[in-house]
Structure 1
């Protein structure tokens, strides 16, 4: 039931965060299994189907943040037969624990990607390469992420529509955000910007530290509002909302697949690694997919469409493996070209700055030695409460404007993630693994503050100008693709992020933090010791060394109108020049949204499923407002 690798990695996290000993491992597993699933979450798991039929109406590739939604919604049409193929296994008890999010990385549930070294970023990581975790599990990256529910900015979607993508404006996007949502925050119950009764549960963690309250108050002190950042306006500070349900992770698999698991027309196949989309060259139609399962190569046909929902990395890889991509690149690898499209271009990510830490004198952070292991663990497994419900350790977020943001202040250019946690020796091992940082960097920056009360802000760049690429390393479908994040290729990205770091420091200096004796951890990082601490040049050096992905790669199968030579899919998400093939996931974003991308991906999947229903004349209740 629990893979050895996942349990080992995740329990290291449990030990590091809440101070458990190895003797408590059986209690944690048994408690989660018995109390959490049997009593509090009676929905059963999706059925891993054996054997599969030879033909379905729709074959959905990838059971992640988008694919789980698409498959669930398409199966609402009773006479359609749907197959969902996922390369990874099912979730397990440990993946449900919100505080253990980081400890799922580098396990068998992660594709374990790394970026190519550029010399401009990730300098403090081994080999100059950043780790890029991606979910290889039913539920995809919604199982590995920090569960933060952020929709982005109204202007993001208005820009998409202005680029020629009809039907992708804010009002249409809001319709689908609300359709998915079951928001359980009482103060948002009557908000016109939120929905209830949807599949996806959204609420705050039931536990928080005083530091996050101070963080929000500090924002108000600086002139920002404490507001619902998913509401009318985005700029401001807020205690984080997340995709959690009764204190546990609410992945898209849990939200969208478990409730429909008994539908006869929906088959789910796990550990099914798709290697190629089958395209009939005569008709230029996608007719099915090839995949490997249990060591055996198989083919399944799609009567109507193949829907690619494998994410920004894997969707681009699969398209290129199938002959759909940049001609010059495919010919170089001797991959027969079916359609020359700019697949793999336009890669964008929210690069962030890790390591900005503030020490406090009062016992207000999450420190291992302060908590008794057994009571805390049982508080979580029985009641769904306590520190283990924190969203990967993140308690608050904010959207702020640097001097480079738009004049109205309505489209902020920096986001903050705030986390009130210290590092202990066990967790330190995981920090080094997850970030991939060198031993020297860890020993200099992180080890001196181990087991001390501290908190951190991670500033991230909301709208990077730099663009990266995804390319094949070879025609071998089991070899990881080559990912060039190309961080800071445009120097304006660095200039903006440095300003974000300076604003974060000002937040830490607000009067409200004085009660805790809060002050910045001033130890210089290796490689930057020759620079004045706190200067623009120092922050730039810091950012280049401790660069951090916020796990939001998008854009590699760009949506655009027919006259856009860089577009891969049209505004109805159909691949140009190949019939019966759509892409519905983060890769279709023409520009990255201003904030965490999981909620927008779910929105894209909701809308994409409706587009399919419309195109096949199965959309029974339809308003032209949302075409």
Structure 2
């Protein structure tokens, strides 16, 4: 095959994306794209999963959603040879462009994304700098789900998170009981981590640090040490501290859950994967209250498939409550509004939680050490990635460092931090057009606040609130499955959330003021949002105004199908993730979290998939790991 033909193959696999991959990469010569494709097919030993043409009339298990949890569940259940498993995924397959870690942001607002948006606020002000006062909420519509869109950051959360789950009446979910499931998945490629008691090798999911980073990443660690924090593995014995980012990458490329859990088992005859299959309803017998099948649309045609054992709903914290409510499981007052017969009156869609922070917190330095588009989209950089699996293109969405810090509002023990930092040696100006597209930031605000930095060297910290007190809802807008539900996050309804984040921002300012960063001349960018000009920089009022304008989420919605004991009136699923009032139906994804974890949610969601798979096997008489 000629290089020109190979380049055509690359373009073919990227058809439907809202960008030209060759233009994005800045790889003007066609042969560079050809080399990328040749590397992809020759080095990756696991070819793509098979998208079956015809779905059988019935399967033992139907898994809805092939994302961070669903891919795990389908893979693990199909380990039982005499079980038949169907995985239904609304999107298609990932491709060569989505594999490149540094291009993670370009997957958002593409064919891989559901492209959800929050409903404009009516009570508490937030997202005010965004077009229509709406924050974008990317969610994966692709095999691998949001693990194809995210920045690949691997964080497990805090020991206290899981112990709290267990204390709330969820036996089996304490930290000591879930840790083995984190380790079951993991194939850690960093020797100094793999040898510890908190990591493992040999699992499906590859975890490692990026092989490349800027000099500012070391300054970030040194700043943490100056401030009295330890440099440590925050996925280990203690979370509080600073670290280089660990990520789900393999040989320099993204390791999504589709790549990790589905490609190795693609030839199992008892596992069928049907892409472009959007589920519209779980079929539940009104008399027996048992789930018996699924309706879905595929290629413009309606289908029905029967489940003889269970339906497993893994459509995510937005998709799972949406499908449940369309199926008659949810708040009676909401379902009645759309004349949907109520099968089980549960608080589906309630308890919506998300991590929230201040976007656009920018610092300026005097030396050329930051990650800029013009500096790193070069032929040399491309070839380093293609031929050596190294270089700037392996950066984990640009996030080089993480920290977990304690504000004065954190528990006194110091072991349950309330703020997380995502450190990136770049800013909104690294690729302003794409960042504005992703965030929905108004052009007028970008031009006023950030455009003056066009030729500057900048870096950023995203201070993230780990355990928000404010919570919201997912609510139906229509009984039509194609109409997205209302997403009402209710950010900042509790004043404590603003106060905690303000303290986190000030700790971030201390990072910039450290000796480690002062050697680069670091200082904060102080041009305010137009609506915040009346407030003096670094006052409480200034930061509250800024937070309510550039409200920033890194897309961690959880808890909309809350797990809890029968005594908890807010619970949707029991501790074995079975839906209350409905037989043969479980929910397995981030929506079951009683409370959001203290950190990125992808690794915990994979853990939930691992643990739920063993629960299902146990409930059907199979011995599992202990």
Find the partner of 1:252 among 253, 257, 273.
257
Find the partner of 1:81 among 79, 84, 91.
84
The within-5 A match list for 1:433-582 is 433-582=437-586
1:51 and 2:51 equivalent?
no
Find the partner of 1:125 among 122, 126, 130.
130
1:597 and 2:601 equivalent?
yes
The within-5 A match list for 1:107-122 is 107-118=110-121, 119-122=124-127
Provide, for residues 409-440 of structure 1, a one-character-per-residue CA deviation record: whole Å limited to 9, x for no partner: 00000000000025558x21111110001011
Query: What's the TM-score, normalizing by structure 2?
Result: 0.96
Partner of 2:411: 406
Quick one: distance in 1 between partners of 2:70 and 2:573?
Answer: 17
Could you say what the CA RMSD is over the residues aligned between the two structures, in angstroms?
1.2
Question: Structure 1 residues 457, 473: closer, same or farther in 2, change over 3 A?
Answer: same
Question: Structure 1 residues 10, 324: closer, same or farther in 2, change over 3 A?
Answer: farther
Partner of 2:433: 429
Provide, for residues 246-304 of structure 1, a one-character-per-residue CA deviation record: whole Å limited to 9, x for no partner: 11000000000000000000000000000000001121100010000011100000000
Quick one: distance in 2 between partners of 1:280 and 1:489?
Answer: 40
The within-5 A match list for 1:128-207 is 128-207=133-212
**Secondary structure of 1:96's aligned partner:** coil
Find the partner of 1:617 among 613, 617, 621.
621
Residue 440 of structure 1 contacts residue 526 of structure 1 at CA under 8 Å; is this kept in 2? no
Partner of 2:5: none
Provide, for residues 506-543 of structure 1, a one-character-per-residue CA deviation record: whole Å limited to 9, x for no partner: 11100111111111111111210111011111111111
Quick one: distance in 1 between partners of 2:612 and 2:232?
Answer: 30
Quick one: distance in 2 between partners of 1:209 and 1:570?
Answer: 46
Quick one: distance in 2 between partners of 1:34 and 1:437?
Answer: 38
Find the partner of 1:583 among 587, 591, 595.
587
**Secondary structure of 2:552's aligned partner:** strand
Quick one: distance in 1 between partners of 2:242 and 2:557?
Answer: 24
Question: Structure 1 residues 314, 208: closer, same or farther in 2, change over 3 A?
Answer: same
Quick one: distance in 2 between partners of 1:147 and 1:189?
Answer: 18
Quick one: distance in 1 between partners of 2:55 and 2:380?
Answer: 45
Shift of residue 622 of structure 1?
Answer: 4.1
Partner of 1:6: 17
Find the partner of 2:342 among 334, 337, 344.
337
Shift of residue 30 of structure 1?
Answer: 2.1
Quick one: distance in 2 between partners of 1:52 and 1:370?
Answer: 49
The ranges of structure 1 where at least 4 consecutive aligned residues each deviate by more than 4 angstroms after the TM superposition are 9-13, 422-425
Question: Structure 1 residues 455, 68: closer, same or farther in 2, change over 3 A?
Answer: same
Quick one: distance in 2 between partners of 1:526 and 1:314?
Answer: 36
Residue 69 of structure 2 contacts residue 609 of structure 2 at CA under 8 Å; is this kept in 1? yes
Quick one: distance in 2 between partners of 1:612 and 1:211?
Answer: 46
Quick one: distance in 2 between partners of 1:403 and 1:320?
Answer: 40
Quick one: distance in 1 between partners of 2:190 and 2:218?
Answer: 17
Quick one: distance in 1 between partners of 2:481 and 2:32?
Answer: 38
Residue 367 of structure 1 contacts residue 451 of structure 1 at CA under 8 Å; is this kept in 2? no
Partner of 1:17: none
Which structure 1 segments of 5+ residues have no match?
15-19
**Secondary structure of 1:391's aligned partner:** coil
Residue 355 of structure 1 contacts residue 445 of structure 1 at CA under 8 Å; is this kept in 2? no
Question: Structure 1 residues 499, 13: closer, same or farther in 2, change over 3 A?
Answer: farther
Shift of residue 10 of structure 1?
Answer: 4.9
Shift of residue 107 of structure 1?
Answer: 0.8
Residue 324 of structure 2 contacts residue 348 of structure 2 at CA under 8 Å; is this kept in 1? yes
